[in-house]
Structure 1
């Protein structure tokens, strides 16, 4: 095996390390490749074409899928328009696009049924399998403690029961910033981790209760000479309300800013997208009592950003659904209210303020949903049921396009004029929803163009899909060392055909590329980054081998804190400016808690005739430290004579091969007498999410290992000749018979492919 030199990058510095050359392999997360803009756009607004998405449902909210162009009546600024393109697009798995006569065609939960059953590993999505893209935005800047409890339950239920195969989902917190756009995924593990980190934030616009409580004990004294002597309590309350409204306004502006960033990022994602905003309040109107005179006015600091956000969502093919998390509330006196020293009239005035605030709070949410073709969920205590309504609504939509007739779209002096769109269906009993309209400027030429090196690399990193200008494959593993602690070791395979090599004299070939790797925490904020520009210079057989098999770049990142991380990497060929990117989600356990944990799995395949030393029996073999050490040496680049196609970085195996796997077991409990662990191991194999093989449960023998807190384990499986080509998942389950029942099982998995 030919070895080349790459770099091990860490917070402590960069030192060269040898690595084995390996061919390309798709790693744990597959993402949709770039497609042409025309194929991706759902909403298009140009000087001679307007294309919109339209939802049609019956009175029960069920999709109507058999309408034709003749059933629709389209008007722009009250002028009738002729439909020129028409199609129905189904987003259900396995569905095909149904078309009408006049135009061209424009699953179950993966959580186990029993509590102690190991989870089914996620199946990486192929590009054509992405059916729906959904951003669940939790407005923790304005969610009460009471509401947050029910929101977390609804999110868990969505991931458990309502998320379907082909869904690409992100759970985003407005208090965490728009950086969590990096977390669009089909991996339920990542979404469960995101749900667990959704929590109530004190000192924000919303308090403990979903509705404001009456509490006179917190009101200041009334000696202020500016207080109205005829009604001091009400005057003080008006001042408190004024301060509260100003503070709420600041948080609402912050929420809109985050959502604007999310929608702007989603614009570059293909197809029709959905954003579900969950909040207690987003007010448009404000009620002010000035010198005893009540006034209701529009909150322009919120109204204008709302209009801009709705227009951006419409042009980005994003449908916004909103959910008022307060649900149904009693608006009369409760046991939590403190009405001491208040008269009956004063109590009624406070209750009137409460009722008015309850009515005004969701108005901004209603506006966003109405303007972008979604709907608002309010006065509903079953938040999980509300999300189910949204899922039902996303089963499909109609694409309707027309050439504007009688419109001055794009004409001089018409900039920023709003064009109102209305669509009606002639069939009785059918309800139709679409976007309310658009402002007068064309989408042509408004797409983001990245020119500089930094813009191109960062653009690839923040996109939820892989850039495919340079083919990158990422395999990232967690491990722990007694001296250096926890770390992530990542192998980035680079296809040398996508790099530009130039002749450098005397048979040498040279290429220069930029690479940037970032790790993001569970809140989407960047934890660490490594970036460098590299020049490689090679010739002869080494050049030929690299062009045939590619090469591997190793990134080693120390992990200071346990938690959920996402590693994202981007590479740019300096000569051609082609960019590639890849990402992977990694869970780092807290080793200091002394709970059973596993490292990442190293897997390779060996032909039966080349096995040395002899491997265990074809059935799941007893775990052996030798297997793990052999695999570890192979991954680090020792010149062991193994098939690189079937190596740990690539894992392209063939029928009849022996699959060898290795891993480390951390924090196994020890028998007080023998000072030995009592561990059971088992392996399972899945194909396309379905369990196809369950190995026998076997006792683990630690042999003569010295570090009982970091046990090396491994084994082998004979791949049957009847195994079909395709993608598979190897899962390892370890059970500690000496640990407490709720912490006695650890699971790890890795994908491989049979060709």
Structure 2
């Protein structure tokens, strides 16, 4: 397996920094698996109880609750209270040198599933938002990420009208969320107009009558209005079904995610039924009921926000009353009030049926978000044993739940019920072709785990080729099924699909190939032990936010693994100091000593002749043991030169764990490797992974300061996540 380096002259420095860390216990979190259970032996639902001020009530006992199914009282057999309080958000790090908050951005905190307290999907219904509402939602989302997002939150910003390549995966990385927010734009093809209401204007027959056509009758005007309204309702329903379908997809993906799960839906609303059009109910209500049942089984609560805020229902500047009948003008306010109510009805139904809340008629979306987050700090799990009639399709298609609590002024919210089908029956896999399976895994914003994958994407720049992103994918070969071959060999066949998406969700590049791997003897055992790295490079013609997605399907077992990673490609033409992706290499102490003894003796690939390691595998997998040496290398772009054509840079490294700074190195002079292209200055360093470091995820942050640059362009930073394993 060949070496991977950003440039062929890449050599590591003999610079060593060491640190040790006292082991810190991981907070014990309550398991969130199967919050809602619907089986033949147990029906379990989550219940939120708040006081008159909206605060969670935490001291209730099982005897304080009454639960009924279809009007029949049930005996409570399972009862518990779950606290889902999240840790406070990260605060700026103070430097040891000056004790002032650093202006260097903090790296994202990698979370394991048992550390996630809340999983929040911020769903922007751009199929139904007006131009005015989009502005308010974007502002609220930025404030949420800035101020309200907590350390143990897993968050995604998802647009209902986005393509499958939109920046959709759940993350703790605020950079990715900001990039997704930037792509929240008004959808001119959706059901939302410029304002909250369609502007008042004369219909064709009204214009004709106003022009003096005496043949236009009142009956003709009424018929025309009905036809126009039916068409408007049908068009709106098409987009409403699209909105519900997008939320349906999101809920399915959230089914296996950890934490207290919620969807915050920002929309201008949708009508379920219309008094003048009874047939309209069938088009929407079935989709809504299926969505609420799916949400309840996945333990996802939906909180809905009417993004229109406080509205004026009278005549506005955008209305053109010329030619409009006096009756329509007179009824305009009541018509628009009815439209507000109808569209809020759909949002209210989604929230009430899934245990969420609604936030209407307010211009402060973030105040509603704060209340929704407060609402998720704790909940009760209540279960009972169902009888044989619960899942009898002949007598009960839907089972209605009612939960009461014996506490004055208590507000109880719970899931309305469930269809008479068990979770096991619903989870039966559907038949898909091999291509459909891998494409579904790749397009989902959620990683498939049938094959363990680790993806690392690295930004770099070449003088001739320009900017590029190199993706390194480590594959755990034990998850592939090898079949016996003649002569004692082993063979595995797998499909690879890799796609890069731009910030607008459009596909930029792709790779789709089938590979056959043949190995024998010791090579097979080594492959099972160490895995292998699949890597590919895509050129980047335009700076911006990108998402790289890879899916692998094993032909024999049909197992699928997928991974995705967000990366921001900087604009080097702006002349800002920028750092490339960071390459890693792990050495034992003995290898490091040999490296020092043989300094200067390098192979053509740039590695020391005294030992053999694999920086490609180390950079992709990023799993290291204690009491070893971690070497890192990078390039610096756009550094300024003084009058003598020399650089004046300093470097500092930091180590974070769980968002907390645990090691901060001193600012040290930038050690430039021998080279002529100072616009791509190469450097490297190493540190000891101390024997007292606790197992878990860490972040290495490298900051380079250009002392010749202006203040705003002076610092560049890059980070890489790694894991300490036993």
What TM-score, normalized to structure 1?
Answer: 0.80
Shift of 1:160: 2.4
Match of 2:405 in 1: 425
Counterpart mapping for 1:527-566 below 5 A: 527-566=508-547
Between the aligned partners of 1:286 and 1:166, the Cα distance in structure 2 is 43
Shift of 1:542: 3.5
Between the aligned partners of 1:468 and 1:229, the Cα distance in structure 2 is 67
Q: Is the 8 A contact 1:112 1:119 kept in 2?
A: no
Between the aligned partners of 1:630 and 1:300, the Cα distance in structure 2 is 72
Q: 1:356 aligns with which of 338, 345, 349?
A: 338
- The answer to whether 1:176 aligns with 2:158 is no
Return closer, same or farther for 1:360/1:509 CA change in 2, 3 Å cut-off: closer
Q: 2:120 aligns with which of 134, 139, 164?
A: 134
Match of 2:365 in 1: 383
Between the aligned partners of 2:692 and 2:393, the Cα distance in structure 1 is 69
Superimposed CA distance per residue, residues 64-115 of structure 1 (whole angstroms, 9 cap, x where no aligned partner): 1222221111112212111122222222258xxxxxxxxxxxx224677999
Return closer, same or farther for 1:640/1:412 CA change in 2, 3 Å cut-off: same
Counterpart mapping for 1:262-277 below 5 A: 262-269=250-257, 273-277=261-265
Q: Bigger shift: 269-278 or 452-461?
A: 452-461
- The answer to whether 1:611 aligns with 2:595 is yes
Between the aligned partners of 2:533 and 2:37, the Cα distance in structure 1 is 42
Between the aligned partners of 2:724 and 2:40, the Cα distance in structure 1 is 51
- The answer to whether 1:77 aligns with 2:70 is yes
Q: Bigger shift: 232-241 or 177-186?
A: 232-241
SS at match of 2:161: helix
- The answer to whether 1:366 aligns with 2:337 is no
- The answer to whether 1:689 aligns with 2:659 is yes
SS at match of 2:338: helix
Match of 2:196 in 1: 210
Q: Bigger shift: 203-212 or 713-722?
A: 713-722
Q: Is the 8 A contact 1:135 1:274 kept in 2?
A: yes
Q: 1:90 aligns with which of 83, 88, 100?
A: 83
SS at match of 2:331: helix
Return closer, same or farther for 1:228/1:630 CA change in 2, 3 Å cut-off: farther
Shift of 1:680: 4.4
Shift of 1:5: 11
- The answer to whether 1:55 aligns with 2:67 is no
Counterpart mapping for 1:136-535 below 5 A: 136-177=122-163, 180=166, 182-214=168-200, 222=209, 223=211, 228=216, 243-269=231-257, 273-286=261-274, 299-339=281-321, 347-405=329-387, 408-411=389-392, 413-414=394-395, 417-449=397-429, 452-458=433-439, 460-462=441-443, 466-506=447-487, 508-522=489-503, 526-535=507-516
Q: 2:61 aligns with which of 62, 68, 73?
A: 68
Between the aligned partners of 2:267 and 2:202, the Cα distance in structure 1 is 27
Q: Is the 8 A contact 1:109 1:162 kept in 2?
A: no
Superimposed CA distance per residue, residues 431-453 of structure 1 (whole angstroms, 9 cap, x where no aligned partner): 11111122333333221426654
Q: Is the 8 A contact 2:117 2:259 kept in 1?
A: no
Superimposed CA distance per residue, residues 320-358 of structure 1 (whole angstroms, 9 cap, x where no aligned partner): 111101111233444555545668765332233232222
Shift of 1:386: 0.8
Between the aligned partners of 2:207 and 2:710, the Cα distance in structure 1 is 53
Return closer, same or farther for 1:483/1:358 CA change in 2, 3 Å cut-off: same
Counterpart mapping for 1:27-42 below 5 A: 40-42=33-35
Q: Bigger shift: 482-491 or 709-718?
A: 709-718
What TM-score, normalized to structure 2?
Answer: 0.83
Q: Is the 8 A contact 1:181 1:265 kept in 2?
A: no
Between the aligned partners of 2:105 and 2:69, the Cα distance in structure 1 is 51
Q: Bigger shift: 278-287 or 118-127?
A: 278-287
Shift of 1:586: 1.9
Shift of 1:200: 1.9
SS at match of 1:611: helix
Superimposed CA distance per residue, residues 12-50 of structure 1 (whole angstroms, 9 cap, x where no aligned partner): xxxxxxxxxxxxxxxxxxxxxxxxxx9832323334542
Q: Bigger shift: 153-162 or 137-146?
A: 153-162
Structure 1 runs not aligned, ≥5 long: 9-37, 95-106, 289-294, 616-625
Q: Is the 8 A contact 1:419 1:438 kept in 2?
A: yes
Shift of 1:137: 0.7
Between the aligned partners of 2:540 and 2:310, the Cα distance in structure 1 is 45
Aligned length: 688
Q: 1:748 aligns with which of 708, 718, 722?
A: 718
Return closer, same or farther for 1:234/1:594 CA change in 2, 3 Å cut-off: farther
Q: Is the 8 A contact 1:656 1:718 kept in 2?
A: yes
SS at match of 1:457: helix
Structure 2 runs not aligned, ≥5 long: 6-30, 95-99
Match of 1:585 in 2: 566
Superimposed CA distance per residue, residues 624-671 of structure 1 (whole angstroms, 9 cap, x where no aligned partner): xx99x999845xxx8762555994444555666554322122334556
Q: Is the 8 A contact 1:599 1:663 kept in 2?
A: yes
Q: Is the 8 A contact 1:657 1:719 kept in 2?
A: yes
Shift of 1:541: 4.5
SS at match of 1:125: coil
